Structure 1
Amino acid sequence: MKQLAKLFTGLTILVLGAGCSQLTESIYTDNVQEYELNTIDTEYGYTGKAVFKEFADGSGLELTITLVGEASKNEYYFPAHLHYGQYQQGENSPMAEMLNPVDIRPLKSVTIIKDFSLEDLNYTYYHIKVHLAEEGPDYEKILVAGNVGEYNENAESTE
């Protein structure tokens, strides 16, 4: 009887695992691109990563920004933006997309960018900036920044 219970449990785990795998595969394509976000303001010392996943239905991209550095238990959000052009310190490039802010507690942000593909990303220069604050003098403090798109030699594609 114990062997039958173990077999049933094993089959259940196998079926559930396959179901979850199929669900994940149906949401995204195999096209994923990762980019490093480099420390800009050394006072805070954050680094990070931006990961773009393409939706299988062609509706857009999911962008996850994850920072590495000091988290907090207090609620606070770092504004984040996708800008046109390559990052140049002190230059204010036009904004392509306002991204969801990075929550200081998990040091993470997830943004859905509709009607945008990795192909779109790969044929134009872009960069991401994460600011210390939404406004005032701390808005000018850039925690991390990084160039994204095919023209970025630091891109890691997981195709």
Structure 2
Amino acid sequence: MKKISFIVPLVLALAGCQLEEKQPEVASVTYPLYQSADYAFEGTATFEVNDADIALLIQLEGLKSTDPYFYTAHLHFGSFDEADASIAQVLNPIDSRTLQSRTVIGRLTNGSEIDFETLRNFDGHIKIHLADQGPDYDIILVSGNIGSNDTSLENFNTNKLALCSPSYPNY
């Protein structure tokens, strides 16, 4: 009987111990996106590296819509104030109902691959447009520098914001 009273607590103790599943390490860096038009939006762009993939998560803050509408988004080479900054990658559009999007960053338009360290030093910026064409394409809802560029609010000036061309290289 003494053996059973010893074994039962031991079995219960061992049953209570679960092997912890090792979670993959996720490296991330977040950049602010600033209001760039009369529309009250701002947000963040978070790059996450999980295994070999780099995902860009965009989260806006502002008025959500009940109707489906999608804001066009681009990752550009250069600073937000650089005229004719080339598009590095077309991003998945931001859903106006959730104000979110997620894009796995692949090969850039210049043919280069990007890893996390390159991304942290990337000379680039993000722009989110009201529309994908027409006059509303020139309305940039939010934008912000990433990587090696100055990402501070003190550096951000909508008067310096350069419009981008809707054309981009095929890749």
Shared fold, TM over 0.5:
yes
> 2:76 aligned to 79, 83, 95, which one?
83
Q: Which residue of 2 aligns with 1:37?
A: 33
Greater Rg over alpha carbons, structure: 2
Q: For residue 15 of structure 1, report the CA deviation from its aligned partner.
A: 5.0
Q: For residue 119 of structure 1, report the CA deviation from its aligned partner.
A: 1.4
In structure 2, what is the Cα distance between the partners aligned to 1:153 and 1:127?
A: 9
> 1:46 aligned to 41, 53, 76, which one?
41
Stretches of structure 1 lacking an aligned partner (at least 5 in a row)? 1-6, 155-159
**Which has the bigger relative contact order, CA under 8 A and spacing at least 6?**
1
Q: Which residue of 2 aligns with 1:4?
A: none
In structure 2, what is the Cα distance between the partners aligned to 1:15 and 1:84?
A: 48
Q: TM-score, with normalisation over the residues of structure 2?
A: 0.70
In structure 2, what is the Cα distance between the partners aligned to 1:116 and 1:135?
A: 28
Q: What's the secondary structure of 1:120's corresponding residue?
A: helix
1:86-105 to 2 correspondence within 5 Å? 86-88=79-81, 91-105=83-97
Which residue identity lines up with residue 128 of structure 2 in the other structure?
Answer: V
Q: Which residue of 2 aligns with 1:127?
A: 125
Q: TM-score, with normalisation over the residues of structure 1?
A: 0.75
Would you tell me which structure has more strand in proportion to its own residues?
Answer: 1
1:8-157 to 2 correspondence within 5 Å? 18-19=20-21, 22=22, 25-26=23-24, 28-29=25-26, 31-42=27-38, 44-56=39-51, 59-88=52-81, 91-114=83-106, 115-154=113-152
In structure 2, what is the Cα distance between the partners aligned to 1:100 and 1:61?
A: 14
In structure 2, what is the Cα distance between the partners aligned to 1:125 and 1:64?
A: 19
Report the CA distance shift for 1:120/1:75 in structure 2 as closer, same or farther (over 3 A): same
The size of the alignment, in residue pairs, is 135
Aligned-residue Cα RMSD (Å) equals: 2.5
| Contact 1:50/1:64 (8 A) holds in 2 | yes
Identity of aligned residues (%): 36
In structure 2, what is the Cα distance between the partners aligned to 1:65 and 1:124?
A: 17
Which residue identity lines up with residue 48 of structure 2 in the other structure?
Answer: K
